[in-house]
């Protein structure tokens, strides 16, 4: 995954593009809620630095417009993102709290409601 030396560049990429990417993938990928919960965990100062670095590294990959399998390929485009995110979620699972998940669910509800209006 990511190391602590890469934390600042990864965090900068994620903070700049995460919400736009999360909105774009809403309803298109099954891991949006997990990605949003991971974002909240990564931005939580109580999360240990190595876990934050791992999550920001995986989320930076998710946010990047070009990666190993471009997201424009229907059915395949998010498989590489999913593999990297699942690995990071597994490493961080003890640190992604119910509060992070609740914030993710609240954001998803708000965004889905906005799409329906």
Residues 59-79, mean pLDDT to the nearest whole number? 64
Binned at pLDDT 50, 70 and 90, residue 116 comes out as confident
Closest CA to 98 of 35, 25, 31, 40: 40
Poorest-pLDDT segment among 41-45, 71-75, 80-84, 104-108: 71-75
Q: Is the pLDDT of residue 67 over 90?
A: no
Q: Is the pLDDT of residue 94 over 60?
A: yes
Closest CA to 19 of 92, 90, 95, 103: 103
């Amino acid at each position: 995954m990511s190391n602590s030396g890469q934390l600042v560049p990864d965090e900068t990429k994620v903070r700049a593009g995460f919400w736009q990417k999360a909105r774009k993938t809403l309803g298109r990928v099954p891991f949006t809620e997990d990605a949003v919960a991971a974002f909240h965990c990564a931005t939580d100062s109580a999360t240990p630095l190595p876990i934050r670095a791992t999550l920001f590294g995986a989320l930076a990959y998710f946010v990047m417009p070009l990666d190993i399998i471009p997201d424009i390929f229907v059915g395949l485009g998010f498989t590489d993102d999913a593999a990297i995110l699942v690995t990071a979620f597994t490493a961080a699972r003890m640190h992604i709290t119910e509060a992070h998940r609740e914030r993710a669910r609240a954001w998803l509800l708000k965004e889905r409601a906005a799409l329906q209006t």
